[in-house]
Structure 1
Amino acid sequence: MMTFVNNRNGQALATYRFGDASKPTLIFSNSLGTDHGMWQAQVEYFAQDYDVICYDTRGHGKSAVIEDTSLVDLAHDVFDILDHYQVEKAHFCGISMGGITGIQLAVLAPQRFASITIANSAAKIGNADAWNSRADSVEANGLADIVATTHTRWFSDKFDYIHDAVAQKTIQSLSVTAPKGYAASCRALANADLRDALAQIDVPCLALCGGLDPVTTVVDGEFIVEHTPHAALAVVEASHLSNIEAPAEFNQALAAFLDQHRI
């Protein structure tokens, strides 16, 4: 069931709650150009043991397009969702853009989280010029060119994404993402660099990497682990959207980490 939650600026965020609200909360944050539907395999796996909350990141899915966006704004949206549902402490799992959002959350308010899982992400993703150039291009020309080649970044050659229902649904979500919402997130990522902030994080973190990921590599995950006081590394044989390409391995790695840090 979808519920719109207004953030601190009065903008609507689409949220989706599954499982038992009396159990520990696990909130999932999607990647750039996707929506909450990318977490289908995780919802099915974790909803028996957790209060699972998914949401469409601003500018994605059914959430409001907010053009002036920073990484701190993305983190504030998560706090606003947790506050709406009266969740004082949660587990967080974000992938790619959602992963670096998790790092920002850990910097801003570690007391709100029992654990942070940073999947297929980095403390700095790409470079500012490339992100700003992509934002300008998408605003001018739309997302068609990116949609046409996205499978080469999201999935490895060994994954049959054509016959995977969640993969196809996720590619479709990119095709219907609002260009201005996508561009705003690109600009947020252009200005996001948390490498120097890792050392101050005081919450257990898991860098969950895809061994075949060409976008945010295992080296990026190792950097997080080396510079974050309470961090562990897990690698699954998949590309950038490892939760879709290797859901069983992803779920097992995440579940093992969550078990170590129960609320």
Structure 2
Amino acid sequence: MPMLQTSRQPFHIAIDGPDSAPALLMAHPLGASLDVWAPQVAGLARYFRVIRYDARGHGASPVPEQATADAAREGVGALGLDALAIIDALGLERVHWCGLSMGGMAGQWLLAYAPQRLNRVVLANTAASTGAASAWDERLQTLKTAGVAGLIDGVMARWFTPGFAAAHPDTVAGVRDLVLRTKPDGYAACAMALAGMDLQQVIRGATPPTLVIAGAHDAGTTPEQARFIAGQLADARLLMLEAAHLSNVEQAATFTQAISDFLSG
């Protein structure tokens, strides 16, 4: 898996599928890495050039020295600009986009401010607003005092339904380990970029065809928030899955087939 040098910073990426296939850029949730998309790679790489990347300070992507300043100045735009830098560095004019949670928030920023770089878009388990910035203070304080380990139990409780966790303990344990490997300062920088985010008005009327995926049992980014996003966009459809927040893992086969069908038009 190579490191890609961009105009903003190096990013760790993985590319699967034919070079000649339509490009699909995949963006992961806060606290995860590109490995969270493992259930989708084999199915999607048959039809697409699947490009996964570790967000700043996640996985093997470094935490830039200016990460905190960028987050304070640019907000969620920092993540959107990172994505554009990756698209540019790969020499791509347009891409399909699939983002979950934080990745879906970056995708909404792109819908609002760079729709000409997008073909079709998947926004999974995400929201157009994260509420008041102060609501993130407790999470950021826990990071300072206990690191990502201080957050992990709450994250796992939100990401999976109890039934799935009981039936698939090894899968949940693998995701838990993935989150625990996240750099605390990388997690904090991206959390600061999301704190107080509000894209509710700027996405209104965005035209790229979009599939909005929601988890029926997602307490973090709720079905109501997914319906709101779909209602704001000019060409959107909504898919509800029997899952909590990490629907691409909990309903892996259904998720993969749905986005493959949608992106294929």
For Structure 1 versus Structure 2, the TM-score category normalised by the shorter chain is: over 0.9
User: Which has the larger displacement, 188-197 or 29-38?
Assistant: 188-197
CA distances 1:157-214 after superposition (whole Å, capped 9, x unpaired): 1103674655433211211111111111111111311001121412111111111111
Equivalent residues in 2 for 1:201-220, closer than 5 Å = 201-220=206-225
- 1:152 paired with 2:152, answer no
Match of 1:197 among 175, 180, 202: 202
The equivalent residue for 1:48 is 46
User: Which residue identity is paired with 1:217?
Assistant: T
Give the SS at the match of 2:7: coil
The 4+ residue runs of structure 1 with deviation greater than 4 A are none
- 1:179 paired with 2:177, answer no
- 1:246 paired with 2:244, answer no
Equivalent residues in 2 for 1:25-174, closer than 5 Å = 25-65=23-63, 66-68=67-69, 69=71, 70-160=75-165, 163=168, 165-174=170-179
User: Which has the larger displacement, 23-32 or 247-256?
Assistant: 247-256
Residues 17 and 50, structure 2, Cα contact 8 Å, conserved in 1: yes
- 1:12 paired with 2:13, answer no
User: Which residue identity is paired with 2:57?
Assistant: G
RMSD over aligned CA atoms reads 1.6
Residues 152 and 180, structure 2, Cα contact 8 Å, conserved in 1: yes
Q: CA deviation at 1:222?
A: 0.5
Residues 161 and 167, structure 1, Cα contact 8 Å, conserved in 2: no
* C-alpha separation in 2, matches of 1:87 and 1:228: 24
CA distances 1:69-128 after superposition (whole Å, capped 9, x unpaired): 221111111111111221111100000000011000111111111111110001013432
CA distances 1:133-155 after superposition (whole Å, capped 9, x unpaired): 31132123212121133221100
Unpaired stretches in structure 2, ≥5 consecutive residues: none
Number of residues paired by the alignment?
258
Q: CA deviation at 1:55?
A: 0.4
* C-alpha separation in 1, matches of 2:240 and 2:50: 23
Go from structure 1 to structure 2 and tell me whether the alpha carbon gap of 1:166 and 1:17 turns closer, same or farther (over 3 Å shift). Answer: farther
Give the SS at the match of 1:52: strand
- 1:3 paired with 2:2, answer yes
Q: CA deviation at 1:246?
A: 0.5
* C-alpha separation in 1, matches of 2:257 and 2:239: 10
User: Which has the larger displacement, 34-43 or 124-133?
Assistant: 124-133
Normalised to the residue count of structure 2, the TM-score between the two structures is: 0.92
Unpaired stretches in structure 1, ≥5 consecutive residues: none
Residues 37 and 170, structure 1, Cα contact 8 Å, conserved in 2: no
* C-alpha separation in 2, matches of 1:170 and 1:53: 20
Normalised to the residue count of structure 1, the TM-score between the two structures is: 0.93
User: Which has the larger displacement, 50-59 or 130-139?
Assistant: 130-139
